[in-house]
A and B are shown apart, each in its own frame.
Chain A
Amino acid sequence: MEIYDLTAHELADLLQRGEMTSEEVTGAIFQRIHDVEPDIQAYVTITEEQAYEAARQVDGERRQGKDLPYLAGVPAGLKDVLCTRGIRTTCSSRMLEHFIPPYSATVVEKLAAAGAVFTGKLNMDEFAMGSSTENSAFFPTHNPWDLSRVPGGSSGGPAAAVAAGEAPYALGTDTGGSIRQPASLCGIVGLKPTYGLVSRYGMVAFASSLDQIGPMTKDVRDCALVLNLIAGYDPLDSTSAPGAGLGAVPDYTAFLTGEIRGLRIGVPREFFGDGLDSAVAEAVKASLGKLAGLGAVVDECSFPHAEYSVPCYYLIAPAEASSNLARYDGVHYGYRAVAENGGAYDLMEMYTNTRSQGFGAEVKRRIMLGTYALSSGYYDAYYLQALKLRTLIRDDFNRLFDQFDAIVSPTSPTPPFRLGEKSDDPLSMYLSDVYTIPVNLAGIPAISIPCGYTDGLPVGLQLMGPVFSEGTLLRIAHAFEQDTPYHQDRAPLKRGHAAVSPAGREGGDSHGRL
């Protein structure tokens, strides 16, 4: 294995044992970035100089015998929606192409305080709106398992970077599946924490009541370690949960016992219906067998309001977005349209041209949708109805969590699709998130872990739990991971059609079926 293939905890162990310095690890990661970035295109901004500086700082402290946080000196990537002081934060939008924040997001501060070495800012769908990273205003990112396919989105840059060895781990954000769906499509682990567990301060808002920041990692242990660093109450975020809703943030690695006997796991039949790719269904069903084999009690159940999730989400998220994105108007910062004749626009012309030129098609589509949904005369029919549906979806989950410790489903209904395949069909693109969206609407946590392959492309399994059940989800995910080899596989960076499956692991064939 190459250095860039190692997990964050493996790198941390090397650093602790003095077998490598952070500067050497950082060098290996940047070498990998330089090698594969032309194919992957995961980074919007690479911060090599600052990274080496941070690495040498950690190395110096380590030499002085300072007691350092476990992940100190391990490189990490950041989705370009997280504000970084002095480093441009674009949200992959023309609107913020040259925007340099004067402050850092709370999660960035927390990782920096833990000695993280930031490699750069990762590509995404513009303002996190999309499921393929094709909505980036700059360039699309390619899936390391098959370069002709999308890495998912909106956190496609972080997912591809981690899968391709361009970052040992990354932070993504998830509003309707934007961590989990790309994690699934890129064969890595992605966790969307409970709403309020991780501070949103400094994450450029898409839909405030749905947004959460979470880890995107190569395995479950890394996921727990990163969550340890970013979880916790933040006085700068009013929606942040005091005491992380638990009294205190636990050490999430303590849940990684491998023991899941007796845990009750529900399988809602509505999540296995029309639109689900049969190979994906097969891989997921095989995983259920493994969970049962590990002693979990797996049972079918029902989620009656599942079909309303997507329409509900596409009212609430755009409504909030239409207001959150109103600030990008060319007045105070960011892109401003200028008249071609060199003269000044009047205010209305400046607003109109700035927003027409600065935003991409999908962002404009959602702003219009949201503006419409909030308009007087439509508010009751759309936004208010959506809020009611949201309550029903939450109730569905609550009922299920009376019976089950966790719910499972596929993360994405399909394996990674080809670039351009769905870009002209927003509705089919929206259905990419059909299994992940209900989780954001309910504010609960969910994790996606690799669970097999179809035609050499990764398939993800989603585990959902009640609020603040991250420990349980990590425990189940970890036990599953211990029993399967997928987390050890590395993407082949293959061009064109994928035909050969890695190590012959197709749809979980070699590991039994349900």
Chain B
Amino acid sequence: MAGYNDRYEVVIGLEVHVELHTRTKAFCSCPNEFGSEPNTNVCPVCMGLPGVLPVINRTVLEYALRAGLALNCEIASFSKFDRKNYYYPDLPKNYQISQYDLPLCRNGYLDVAVDGGERPGARRIGITRVHMEEDAGKLMHGEAGTDYSLVDVNRCGVPLLEIVSEPDLRTPEEARAYLEKLKAILEYIDISDCKMEEGSLRCDANISVRPVGSTVLNPKSEVKNMNSFRAVQHALAGEAERLSAILAEGGQFLLETRGWDEASGLTVQMRIKEEASDYRYFPDPDLVPLVIGPELIDRVRSELPELPAAKQQRFMANYGLPAYDAGVLTGSRALADFYEACVAAYHDQKVVSNWVMGEFLKLLKAHNLEVAASRLTPSHLVAMLKLIDQGTISGKIAKTIFEEMFLSGGRPEEIVKARGLVQISDEGELGAVVRQVLEDHPGVAEDYRNGKEKALTFLVGQVMKATRGQANPQLVNRLIKERV
């Protein structure tokens, strides 16, 4: 990759939309569900029929307050809803109920480090505002050759939060880390499913470049259509590259909207903004202003769960974990809960940490699964660790069992039994194998006698191989040493 980061500074701000997983929609009592048959979760209100009126779902306000507090925002004592007026067929009223000049939350921040965790090196990214609004529907365009499109109104009126960062992000990697951190927090406070692929978390980015040391903000590109964290990082890297090239050639920046094209790995121009769109915002006269008292804020604050930073500190203090381990384990609420369920039933917290951060995360990643979808539960892991401690299985066998538990959800005891994986700790039985190995490799035995430690490893390996890994390694070691 070209060295745009040597001469040029990249300036990125992210606009994130998250769908709140309330039971009902924001302004009517229709179910808020993903994946229903088109136009089934609808009523006169969310269809924007003549004469209907919106009524705010109080849970939306509570969820928005949770987000505002978790993101260290100031909460407005007086807020209101405004109408954002624009015509589009997926918007039945041709205005979106949103918040304009008096958002519920503003001036927050998020501490973000590129490689995860909350260590020195984390940078504080400003959060300009968090506001509530309603989602629009979806257009489904007819097949090629047809002259119509269909509208699905199910998503109309689904509550959204718009979370706008300051242009504080400096690299595509940092933008990704910010998004991951934001997602973790939103999951911690349990207000959204945060699934980018289902559209319950959506991200648009504003990006510009300038010479290092400059404080001017050059015309920015707005990048859309990024459907994964990876896509955000790659799209921004590509766009930074493109903008840097323009700057290097002394070209002119355009204020434009570009879409990320996953297939080509490039951003493609969607439109040039000649002037700012005029949404003719004005206060929605159908909704009364929101007066948010300190009692409500205090109650929501007191009900907030422990957030990642605090949890990481507690993991370090209570479980004696290094900052890195604690950071990884608290990276998602589900993973932290998994870890804590294990250490509640097992004494060695570092051993648990190694298994969770190692094998467990590796398998989740390999199978592209969320913690919640894992068939392997904390009780599986704890039972397996106890089998190791009892000498029933070896650590090496345990890896095989772990993977099988992950795949099948079977109990470790049953897997051990079914596959005959019980460790061989019988001196007589192992003694015979050791004797045979020493006879087969007299030269290596000689090397070991002459002090070559590596020879021992080889001999142990041969015994393990002969017993298909079931030999008790401590016993094998002892027997070889005795007999050589």
- Residue from B49, B83, B153, B278 whose CB has the most chain A CB atoms within 10 Å: B49
Instruction: Decide: A374 and B85 in contact? CB cutoff 8 A.
Output: yes
Instruction: Decide: B286 and A208 in contact? CB cutoff 8 A.
Output: yes
A201, A328, A332: the one contacting B52 at CB < 8 Å is A201
* Distance A343 CA – B146 CA, assembled complex (angstroms): 12
Q: From residue 41 to 93 of chain B, which have CB atoms closer than 8 A to chain A?
A: 44, 47-56, 83, 85, 87, 89, 92-93
A326-B93, A376-B280 known; A204+B50 contact, CB < 8 A: yes
Instruction: Report the minimum CB–CB distance from A484 to chain B (whole Å).
Output: 37
Beta-carbon nearest neighbor of B277 in chain A: A376
Instruction: Decide: B278 and A376 in contact? CB cutoff 8 A.
Output: yes
Instruction: Encode contact with B along A303-328: 1 for CB under 8 Å, 0 otherwise.
Output: 00000000000000001101100111
Beta-carbon nearest neighbor of A372 in chain B: B280
A105, A331, A351: the one contacting B151 at CB < 8 Å is A331
Instruction: Decide: A326 and B85 in contact? CB cutoff 8 A.
Output: yes
Instruction: Decide: B55 and A101 in contact? CB cutoff 8 A.
Output: no
* Distance A319 CA – B284 CA, assembled complex (angstroms): 11
Instruction: Report the minimum CB–CB distance from A228 to chain B (whole Å).
Output: 23
Instruction: Decide: B51 and A237 in contact? CB cutoff 8 A.
Output: no
B397 at the interface (CB under 8 A from A): no
With a cutoff of 8 Å between Cβ atoms, the chain A residues found around residue B282 in the complex are: 319-320, 323, 374, 379, 383
Instruction: Decide: A202 and B54 in contact? CB cutoff 8 A.
Output: no
Instruction: Encode contact with A along B249-288: 1 for CB under 8 Å, 0 otherwise.
Output: 0000000000000000000000000001010111001111
Instruction: Decide: A83 and B280 in contact? CB cutoff 8 A.
Output: no
* Distance A254 CA – B262 CA, assembled complex (angstroms): 73
Count of chain A residues near B, Cβ 8 A: 45
A99 at the interface (CB under 8 A from B): yes
Q: From residue 161 to 198 of chain B, which have CB atoms closer than 8 A to chain A?
A: none
With a cutoff of 8 Å between Cβ atoms, the chain A residues found around residue B148 in the complex are: 344
Looking at chain A's contact residues, the main secondary structure is loop
Instruction: Report the minimum CB–CB distance from B24 to chain A (whole Å).
Output: 14
How many contacts between A and B, using CB within 8 angstroms?
102
Instruction: Encode contact with B along A334-358: 1 for CB under 8 Å, 0 otherwise.
Output: 0000000001100100010000000
Q: From residue 116 to 170 of chain A, which have CB atoms closer than 8 A to chain B?
A: none
Q: From residue 193 to 241 of chain A, which have CB atoms closer than 8 A to chain B?
A: 200-205, 207-209, 235-239
- Residue from A99, A101, A328, A331 whose CB has the most chain B CB atoms within 10 Å: A331
Instruction: Decide: A329 and B54 in contact? CB cutoff 8 A.
Output: no
Instruction: Decide: B94 and A326 in contact? CB cutoff 8 A.
Output: yes
A302 at the interface (CB under 8 A from B): no
B448 at the interface (CB under 8 A from A): no
With a cutoff of 8 Å between Cβ atoms, the chain B residues found around residue A82 in the complex are: 51
With a cutoff of 8 Å between Cβ atoms, the chain B residues found around residue A331 in the complex are: 89, 92, 151
A238, A327, A343: the one contacting B92 at CB < 8 Å is A327
B44, B92, B287: the one contacting A101 at CB < 8 Å is B44
B95 at the interface (CB under 8 A from A): yes
Beta-carbon nearest neighbor of A235 in chain B: B55
A278 at the interface (CB under 8 A from B): no
Instruction: Decide: A239 and B286 in contact? CB cutoff 8 A.
Output: yes
Instruction: Decide: A101 and B50 in contact? CB cutoff 8 A.
Output: yes
A-B contact pairs, 11 of them (CB 8 A): A82-B51, A101-B50, A103-B49, A200-B53, A205-B50, A238-B53, A320-B282, A322-B280, A327-B94, A332-B48, A343-B147
State the B residues within 8 Å of A (CB).
Answer: 44, 47-56, 83, 85, 87, 89, 92-95, 147-148, 151, 153, 276, 278, 280-282, 285-288
